Amino acid sequence: MQFRLIEIRLGLRLEGRLKLETPRSTSGFPKNDRRRVAEVKHGDTLVDQLDRWLARTPFVELSGYAFSNAYREG
C-alpha cells in the first residue's frame, strides 16, 4: 500500500505502472488501506505542486524563453 501511495503522490499514471498484479488495483488491500488510497488519488501530486511553484516563479519567462514549455518537453 505504501508503494501505491508513493506512485500516486509522484503523479505516476496507472498505465505507466508495471503490471505485476492482475488487475492493477487495490482489491487485495484491507478496507482501510483501500480508503486511504482513494483519498490520496484526489489530492495533489508532486507534479501539481511543482507546476504551481513554477507558475509563481518570476524567472520562468525571460527574453522569449519559456521554462514551462522546456520543462514539459524535457
> What average pLDDT score do residues 35-44 get?
90
Residue corresponding to grid cell 503523479:
11
Integer Cα distance of 35 and 32 in angstroms: 5
Question: 69 in helix, strand or coil?
Answer: helix
Hey, where are the domains in the chain? 1-43, 45-74
What pLDDT does 62 receive? 72
Q: Are 28 and 38 in contact (CB under 8 A)?
A: no
Tell me the per-residue pLDDT of 9-27, one tens digit each, with 9 for 90 and over.
998 876 766 666 655 577 7
The predicted pLDDT at position 59 comes to 67
C-alpha triplet 11, 37, 34: angle, nearest 5°: 150
- What is the number of residues in the chain? 74
Query: Higher model confidence: residue 19 or residue 54?
Result: 54
